[in-house]
């Protein structure tokens, strides 16, 4: 059983700092996993990851104490079951807008009798050896619908009331876009901040947790102070580009 550092942090009242992998490469994943994140998420929606690159990333991350998670491309049982079989302990699912979609997501993530997940955890058990994985997976897997549309906000309480939903994850870019705003991550608009406050309050009321994708470490700090319990800081590609640009600027400014 993977050490679920995310659930432990939440139980202790701490916020989780989550890394994000857009780059489909084991060496990059290994480097990110060594940096001190609580969890690292492979992005199969908007990154350039596929299933096999996810497996490679999970293998590379394995020696580090990070919880492996995935943002799946859509709310579809085939890919959700497959990423769980491949080693994901958290599923972030985009565009969950209704209570029916939330119920379907939970069903895809959980074994019977709580769900309809098919049995075949290829990387999570050693075949021919007794395993307790199937006995504990329903409790250990983190299920996070994304709240990123007007419709999802309107249905927020109903989505949160679906048994099995662990947390929700704010997609600020799409959420702002759906409200007629420019798509971006770090938002300051009063109407967006009011939604954030509502999400934080409603999850806390139910013993659930609110997560958000941030464009900078500074905004992640602000988000934690707002009450978010999981913050992602951009992604590996953006962090590399920002560091490279900063280093180049330092050199060029120094020799100008």
pTM: 0.96
Integer Cα distance of 63 and 46 in angstroms: 26
The whole-number pLDDT of residue 61 equals: 98
Choice among 46, 64, 179, 213 that is catalytic: 46
What percent of the chain lies above the pLDDT cut of 90? 95
pLDDT tens, residue by residue, 231-247: 999 999 999 999 999 99
Q: What is the pLDDT of residues 116-174, one digit of tens each?
A: 999 999 998 866 666 889 999 999 999 999 999 999 999 999 999 999 999 999 999 99
CA distance 123 to 114: 22
Kindly tell me if the per-residue pLDDT of 60 is higher than 90: yes
Residue 203 to residues 30, 50, 156: CA-CA distances in angstroms?
32, 31, 10
Q: Is 179 a catalytic residue?
A: no
Domain boundaries, the chain: 5-255
Q: What are the helix (H) ranges across 62-149?
A: 77-85, 99-109, 133-140
Sign of CA dihedral 163, 164, 170, 175: negative
pLDDT of residue 130: 66
The total of other beta-carbon atoms located within 10 Å of residue 149's CB is 19
Choosing among 3.40.50.970, 3.20.20.10, 3.20.20.60, 3.40.50.720, the CATH entry for 5-255 is 3.20.20.60
Least Cα distance to 167 among 198, 146, 144 occurs for: 144
What is the predicted pLDDT for the residue at 74?
A: 98
Q: Is the pLDDT assigned to residue 1 strictly greater than 60?
A: no
Q: What is the pLDDT of residues 12-34, one digit of tens each?
A: 999 999 999 999 999 999 999 99
Whole-number pLDDT of residue 128: 62
């Amino acid at each position: 059983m993977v050490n679920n550092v995310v659930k432990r942090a939440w139980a202790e009242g701490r916020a989780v700092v989550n890394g994000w992998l857009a780059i489909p490469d084991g060496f990059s994943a290994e480097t990110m996993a060594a940096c001190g994140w609580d969890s690292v998420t492979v992005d199969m929606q908007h990154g350039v990851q596929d299933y096999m690159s996810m497996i490679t990333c999970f293998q590379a991350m394995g020696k580090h104490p990070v919880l492996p998670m995935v943002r799946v491309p859509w709310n579809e049982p085939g890919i959700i079951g497959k990423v769980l079989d491949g080693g994901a302990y958290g599923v972030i699912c985009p565009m969950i807008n209704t209570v029916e979609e939330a119920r379907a997501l939970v069903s895809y993530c959980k074994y019977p009798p709580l769900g309809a997940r098919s049995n075949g955890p290829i990387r999570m058990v050693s075949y021919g050896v007794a395993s307790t994985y199937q006995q504990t997976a329903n409790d250990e897997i983190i299920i996070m619908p994304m709240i990123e549309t007007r419709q999802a906000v309107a249905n927020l309480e109903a989505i949160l009331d679906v048994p099995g939903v662990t947390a929700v994850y704010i997609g600020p870019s799409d959420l702002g876009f759906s409200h007629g705003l420019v798509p971006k991550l770090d938002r300051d608009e009063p109407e967006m901040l009011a939604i954030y406050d509502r999400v934080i309050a409603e999850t806390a009321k139910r013993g659930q947790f609110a997560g958000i994708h941030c464009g900078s470490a500074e905004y992640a700090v602000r988000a934690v102070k707002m009450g978010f319990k999981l913050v992602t800081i951009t992604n590996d590609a953006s962090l590399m580009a920002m560091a490279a640009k900063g280093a180049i600027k330092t050199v060029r400014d120094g020799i100008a």
